[in-house]
Amino acid sequence: MPTATAAVPSAPPLTAAALRRALIAGTRRVIAAREELNRINVFPVPDGDTGSNLASTLGSVLQGALSRRSRHIGELLARVGDEAIDGARGNSGAIMAQFLVGLAEHVRGAAVLDAATLAAAVRRGADSARAALARPVEGTILSVIGAFAEALDEAARAQAGDPRAGFEQALQRARRALAETPRQMPLLQKAGVVDAGARGFVDWLEGIADYVAGGPRALRLRRAPTAANEPAAAAHVHGEVDPARRWCTECLVLGTAIDRAGLRAALEAAGADSLVVAGGSTRVRVHGHVGQPQALFDACAGFGQVEAMKADNMLLQQRSAQSPDRIAVVTDSASDLPPALADRFGIHVVPVRVSVGGRDYLDRLGLSAGEFYRRMAACAQLPQTSQPPPGDFRRVFEQVLAHQPGAVYVGLARPLSGTLQAAETAARTQARPVACVDSRHVSAGQALLAWRAAELAAAGQAPARIVAELDALAAQTQTWALARDLRHAVRGGRIPRWAGPLVRISGLLPIARTDATGRLTLAGGLWARRRAPEAFARHVARRLPPRVRWRLIVGHADAPEDAARLLAALQARLNVAEAHLVEVGPAVGAHAGPQTLVVGLAPAPA
């Protein structure tokens, strides 16, 4: 009798449930490695945020598609791709998202995965990721994705069926490709590190491999080991960020039949560098480095609805990475902080949202103050402002706390907006301390407090000392405003309709100021339209305590000549240590109207 041969049990198919758990393990691996990836980030610019960007991109998938069951693999990966595009951040995050979109496109409708289908899907993802870049560079995440895809192709040709069999072989190839990245890019070799985005992709694969090998125990969050060819304590080498393209800018474009090639050409014409255009025909994630974020957002608006806008100052990110012992200072754009002060002290500014003509913008980044007033004058609809969502604050807090020991946020007065509450919500999610301070002011007064906070941080003061001094200084700071054109305030219901004609006929110019709690109160009026700046200066100067040396910020809503006269008149009457002139944004302009003048004064430090 012939000897019986034991049948080799066939491996179970890779189902949506198993793939979902494997992707959770991979995502958690990347999140655990976030700080290490930030530390070794030197390309395309050394802004120390690759780990945060990859973690945020995959984290949006973890909270979305991977948080619920899917009927089949095609549905799961389609959800993963869409949510990765929606949540993509940074260059590597956008590339990773496009890889996942390409992967999903090939398996749409598939119930299970075999080796050939997985290999073809990964190849589609690799090609799609490469095509998303205007100028692909070897020695990056693209090289490692390509090596992984090539190894999967070879494994699938050698043995069909279970896709798990070739995964380990492909992972080994990806690890070798990661180790090769310094040889492909001199910048990495000089820094003694591997490419951070490529390392993040290998971390993701290793998390998936952990699940394949160990099952549910791999879902426990743990730190990733050191990657091949990476020293245990490699120094972070900071090259130069191009000042002409300091803004790392991103948005999501929604539409129908979006022309990605045309969009890329428009962005290149706008001067965008490090350009990634990732997505499909209905939703596209754009990433680029530009001199003016507004140029990128305006170019995108020609191809669809622009959402999820963000713009990060890479020079400030670099300064955070170089200031590991200094407390970071953050404010919001309602402060109308003069750019010279923000640059001098490295103050991070979270933009207020503004809507003009049915389109949303980021204050100062997606829409300059001057352009806001031009569009406001041409639009019949009243512009609207809204507070930054907690996610905007969380992103900035994560960026600075990746390098600095803590942060102080100097916020818009609580009675005027929910902005401070949004920052407090974001602060509670941080592992390192964030102190949120109610400035009890707006515009120039708020800016004066942020200025002082940054000085104290630069002097090495601890958060408790900074907060205590700001609390005392807020009571001594004064914020005044003179309204010249009440039409927008009347249209918006901020003052009664009868008040508009009364002011127009009588010539009375209302004056407001912040009180001790941060509320805006009526503080008088002037009959002096032709010499209003000088009369306003006299009104303010008479109400100030004597023998005080002041810091002064004068702001204007599209009234530069009046503001210059106001500044000169105040300097003639007061002992001024330092003064700045700034164009106020929509937080004031949309509510008080054009031609408004603002004065902020705070005692100068001894």
Q: How far apart are CA 334 and CA 584, in angstroms?
A: 8
Phi first, then psi: give them for residue 560, nearest 5 degrees.
-65, -35
Tens-place pLDDT, residues 65-76: 898 888 888 889
* Residue range(s) in the chain whose domain bears CATH number 3.30.1180.10: 478-603
Start-to-end CA distance of the chain, whole Å, equals 105
Place of tokens 């100021």: 513
Report the pLDDT averaged over residues 29-33: 91
Taking the domain 478-603, which CATH number applies?
3.30.1180.10
**Angle between helical axes of 164-184 and 115-131 (0-180°, round to 10):** 30
pLDDT at 227 over 50: no
pLDDT over 90 for what percent of the chain? 53
Tens-place pLDDT, residues 328-380: 999 999 999 999 999 999 999 999 998 888 888 899 888 888 889 888 888 87
Tens-place pLDDT, residues 484-513: 766 665 555 555 565 666 666 666 788 889
- Find the farthest-apart pair of alpha carbons in the chain and give their distance in angstroms, rounded: 118
**Torsion angle of alpha carbons 541, 542, 547, 551, nearest 10°?**
-20
Q: Outline where 304-368 has alpha helix (H).
A: 314-321, 339-345
Q: How far apart are CA 433 and CA 426, in angstroms?
A: 11
Tens-place pLDDT, residues 539-595: 999 999 999 999 999 999 999 999 999 999 999 999 999 999 999 998 888 888 889
Q: How far apart are CA 6 and CA 402, in angstroms?
A: 56
Other residues' Cβ atoms within 10 Å of the Cβ of residue 189: 14
CB 443 within 8 A of CB 336: yes
**How much is the CA Rg of the chain, to the nearest whole Å?**
28
Residue 252 DSSP symbol: E
CATH architecture, domain 16-219: Alpha Horseshoe (1.25)
Report the alpha-carbon angle 256-260-262, nearest 5: 105
Q: How far apart are CA 281 and CA 128, in angstroms?
A: 13
- Residue type at 66 in one-letter notation: L
**3-state SS assignment for residue 549:** strand
- Residue type at 518 in one-letter notation: G
Q: How far apart are CA 559 and CA 431, in angstroms?
A: 44
State both tokens at 355.
């809507």
Q: Given this model, what pLDDT does residue 460 score? A: 96
Residue 544 DSSP symbol: S
Q: Given this model, what pLDDT does residue 526 score? A: 86
pLDDT over 70 for what percent of the chain? 88
- String of DSSP letters for 260-299: HHHHHHHHHHTT-EEEEEEE-SSEEEEEEEES-HHHHHHH
* Residue range(s) in the chain whose domain bears CATH number 1.25.40.340: 16-219
Q: What are the CA-CA distances from residue 192 to residues 40, 99, 260, 380, 568 (Å)?
A: 9, 27, 36, 58, 55
Model's pTM, two decimal places? 0.75
Q: How far apart are CA 98 and CA 102, in angstroms?
A: 6
